[in-house]
């Protein structure tokens, strides 16, 4: 399986990304288009909504094109405006264990910064005509080597572009090649407690807490060093503490997104100081 981005544009209205997919001897060209629309969704764990809609044109058979919309608060939008010029269109990669918080943060940030949002696991899944998290997980288990090759190609292509917010898969940091692609942008580790991720996974499924917990802990232990190479860490537990909450359930997506933007602001400020110090007198 080969995934190749053959054209990209990221305008404020209807940005498009074209993919050429080669599966065995067959070749397909598909188009993914991002739309901004006033749709909304219900998210029981988080109290906010988003405004970025993603759809698939000329769909792969079986690809679910459900949309999610989030509405960033005014404070998030204002902070995004403040740092946009210093970011200069640098792409942002979110790393860490897979979970709804990481995805929602990515969509809020993409909408606030006027970036295009992509989920690297979903792109690999779309190439194989699967869409759900469970099907993508099964795809990885059936052909882990092939999945990783495709994942690396997706990251290579995305890292060559600008103005992207990429939510990477939880195992995307497994090798130095992938990590080198992430360094073409700014990487942020979204650190969410394992027990929260386990509860998300088992909701409505027959999997036991013990089995899923053991699986996710194993992935976390293998990938933790890769996550730690990120330019900054946004910890759900630390954000809860900063806001004086008694538990992490009280933390909103906007609050996590605002903390992420603050980290990005600090990183760009340090970069500007280093560049100024390097200039000759």
**CA max distance for the chain:** 66
Among 98, 30, 106, which Cα is nearest to 68's? Answer: 106
Q: Please give the tally of structural domains in the chain.
A: 1
pLDDT: is 76 or 24 the higher one?
A: 76
Q: Does residue 40 belong to any structural domain of this protein?
A: no
The answer, yes or no, to whether residue 6 has pLDDT greater than 60, is: no
When pLDDT is averaged across residues 27-45 and rounded to a whole number, the result is: 39
Q: Does residue 20 belong to any structural domain of this protein?
A: no
Residue 205: what pLDDT? Answer: 80
Question: Mind listing the pLDDT tens digit for each residue in 91-147?
Answer: 999 999 999 999 999 999 999 999 999 998 888 877 665 555 655 666 666 767 777
pLDDT: is 47 or 211 the higher one?
A: 211
The answer, yes or no, to whether residue 240 has pLDDT greater than 50, is: yes
Q: Does residue 34 belong to any structural domain of this protein?
A: no
Q: Does residue 138 belong to any structural domain of this protein?
A: yes
When pLDDT is averaged across residues 31-57 and rounded to a whole number, the result is: 40
Residue 277: what pLDDT? Answer: 75
The answer, yes or no, to whether residue 46 has pLDDT greater than 80, is: no
The answer, yes or no, to whether residue 267 has pLDDT greater than 70, is: yes
Contacts of 244 (CB under 8 A, 6+ apart): none
When pLDDT is averaged across residues 68-78 and rounded to a whole number, the result is: 70
When pLDDT is averaged across residues 6-23 and rounded to a whole number, the result is: 45
> How large a percentage of the chain has pLDDT more than 70?
68
Residue 241: what pLDDT? Answer: 95
pLDDT confidence tier of residue 237, bands split at 50, 70 and 90: very high
Q: Which CATH number do you get for residue 212?
A: 3.40.50.300
Q: Does residue 84 belong to any structural domain of this protein?
A: yes
pTM of the model: 0.75
Residue 242: what pLDDT? Answer: 92
The answer, yes or no, to whether residue 170 has pLDDT greater than 60, is: yes
Tell me which residue range forms the domain holding 171: 72-278
Return d(Cα 168, Cα 152) in angstroms, integer: 11
Q: Does residue 10 belong to any structural domain of this protein?
A: no
Residue 165: what pLDDT? Answer: 97
Q: Does residue 149 belong to any structural domain of this protein?
A: yes
pLDDT confidence tier of residue 203, bands split at 50, 70 and 90: confident
Q: Does residue 52 belong to any structural domain of this protein?
A: no
pLDDT confidence tier of residue 183, bands split at 50, 70 and 90: very high
When pLDDT is averaged across residues 20-48 and rounded to a whole number, the result is: 41
């Amino acid at each position: 399986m080969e995934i190749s981005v053959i054209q990209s544009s990221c305008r404020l209205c209807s940005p498009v990304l074209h993919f050429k997919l080669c599966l065995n001897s067959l070749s397909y060209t598909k188009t993914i288009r991002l739309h901004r629309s006033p749709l909304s969704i219900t998210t029981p764990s988080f109290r906010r909504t988003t405004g970025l809609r993603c759809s698939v044109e000329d769909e792969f058979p079986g690809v679910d094109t459900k949309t999610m919309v989030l509405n960033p608060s005014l404070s998030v939008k204002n902070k995004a405006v403040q740092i946009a010029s210093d970011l200069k269109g640098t792409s942002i990669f979110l790393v860490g264990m897979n979970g709804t918080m990481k995805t929602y943060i990515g969509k809020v940030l993409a909408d606030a910064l006027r970036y295009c949002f992509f989920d690297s696991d979903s792109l690999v899944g779309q190439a194989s005509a699967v869409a759900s998290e469970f099907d993508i997980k099964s795809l990885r288990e059936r052909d882990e080597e092939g999945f990783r090759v495709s994942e690396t190609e997706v990251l290579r292509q995305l890292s060559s572009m600008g103005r992207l917010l990429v939510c990477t898969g939880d195992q995307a940091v497994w090798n130095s090649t992938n990590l080198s692609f992430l360094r073409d942008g700014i990487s942020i580790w979204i650190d969410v407690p394992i027990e929260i991720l386990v509860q998300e996974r088992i909701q409505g499924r027959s999997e036991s807490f013990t089995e899923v917990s053991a699986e996710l802990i194993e992935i976390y232990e293998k990938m933790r060093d890769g996550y730690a190479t990120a330019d900054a860490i946004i910890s759900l537990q630390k954000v809860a503490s900063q806001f004086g909450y008694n538990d992490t359930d009280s933390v909103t997506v906007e609050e996590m997104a605002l903390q992420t933007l603050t980290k990005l602001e600090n990183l760009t400020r340090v970069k500007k100081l280093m560049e100024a110090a390097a200039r000759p007198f």
